[in-house]
Amino acid sequence: MDKSPGSQRFQDEGQYLFQFLDLIHVQCPGCHEDAVVRRDPGNQGSRATFSCLHCARSYASSTEHWFGPLHGFANNRCRKCREWLRRELMPTERHRTHINLDCSSCGVQTPSPAVWTPRNDGTRDPDFGLPLWLQTPCCGETLWATNKRHLAFLRNFVEATLRERKPNINSSLISRLPKWIKSAKNRSSLLVGLARLESRVVW
């Protein structure tokens, strides 16, 4: 970030969100304190790991642990009339692996596998679905960051009175920021929110 008299300049270098996902502060599912998820964003075959220094809880693989919400559905063709059947599943049915689908055309029940897929609104880590440790209400929305580097990046952007973007970079982190973070009228509230998040990072 370049500085000039009376102003602060932020120059977008085309950073992407995945560059801030190597270490993610999350809430431990056991003691609810600050814990971390470590991952190698550049290695598609790598597995994320979770560790908590407070209660020593750890998980070596995210493929076996998902703590976030799930979207469930079942679909199949009716075994009698071949009509396509589909039903959205409720969160209380999370334990189910199969479900009977009722056909409205012929009344026959058809067994079908229950399919569960992770859901993430951005306030959870992408591997375990744990709530981000660094999140706070701000401007009627949720302000969040993954780690100290991400926080510093956001602060530099919010503080800047002059913002420059590299051309032809449409999927960079800056291009994906919501309008309420880019709005100058929210600068004071955003800086207060960022200060709250910075106070939560103790290591």
Residues paired with residue 124 on neighbouring β-strands, in sequence order: 131
64 CB neighbour count, 10 Å cutoff: 9
DSSP secondary-structure letter at 64? G
Quote the Cα angle for 32-133-202, to 5°. Answer: 95
Sign of CA dihedral 141, 197, 10, 169: negative
- The identity of residue 142, as a single letter, is T
Find the largest Cα–Cα distance for the chain.
77
CB-based contacts of 60, cutoff 8 Å, min separation 6? 47, 49
Q: Residues 51-73: what's their mean pLDDT?
A: 88
Choice among 10-19, 53-62, 181-190, 192-201 with the minimum mean pLDDT: 10-19
| 8 pLDDT above the threshold of 60 | yes
Domain ranges of the chain: 2-66+122-200, 70-118
**Residue (of 25, 79, 92) closest to 52 by Cα position:** 25
Q: How far is CA 46 from the centre of its chain?
A: 18
Token code pair at residue 163: 């913002």
Question: In which band, very low, low, confident or very high, does the pLDDT at 1 lie, cut at 50, 70 and 90?
Answer: very low
pLDDT tens column, 145-192: 999 999 999 999 999 888 777 665 667 888 889 999 999 999 999 999
* Interatomic CA distance for residues 180 and 4, integer angstroms: 25
Q: What is the C-alpha separation between 4 and 19, in angstroms, rounded?
A: 28
